[in-house]
Amino acid sequence: MPGLEGVDQYPGHLKAQISLHLIFSCGGYINNIVYAEKIRNIQHLQERITSATETVTLDVIQKTWQEIEFRLDISRATNSACIEMY
């Protein structure tokens, strides 16, 4: 997947967390686009999902990856202590 070249440097459990974060972030992005207007029927929903998925660019994935790297840096700096992020 483009933009994920650095994932291999992390242990297995972190790879899973990174993958989940990407899925949830991109999923939230798509969800916001799909439901920006009222869905009329299943066909309309399918069209909205397809068109929203087509808007996911390499830039969206790279920004998500930057957010993941930021969170990993925080985790390493705090020795994985529980912290709140705003």
What pLDDT, on a 0 to 100 scale, did the predictor assign at position 26?
76
What range does the domain containing 32 cover? 11-77
Residue 27 lies in a domain: yes
What pLDDT, on a 0 to 100 scale, did the predictor assign at position 41?
96
What pLDDT, on a 0 to 100 scale, did the predictor assign at position 19?
67
Q: What is the mean pLDDT of the chain?
A: 77
Residue 85 lies in a domain: no
Residue 6 lies in a domain: no
Residue 57 lies in a domain: yes
Residue bearing the bigger pLDDT, 35 or 10? 35
Residue 65 lies in a domain: yes
Split into its structural domains, the chain has a count of 1
Residue 71 lies in a domain: yes
Residue 12: which pLDDT band, with cuts at 50, 70 and 90? low
Q: How far apart are CA 62 and CA 77, in angstroms?
A: 22
Q: How far apart are CA 77 and CA 71, in angstroms?
A: 10
Query: Which residues neighbour 19 within 8 Å (Cβ) at sequence distance 6 or greater?
Result: 7
pTM more than 0.75: no
Q: pLDDT per residue over 53-79, tens digit each?
A: 888 888 888 887 888 788 778 877 877
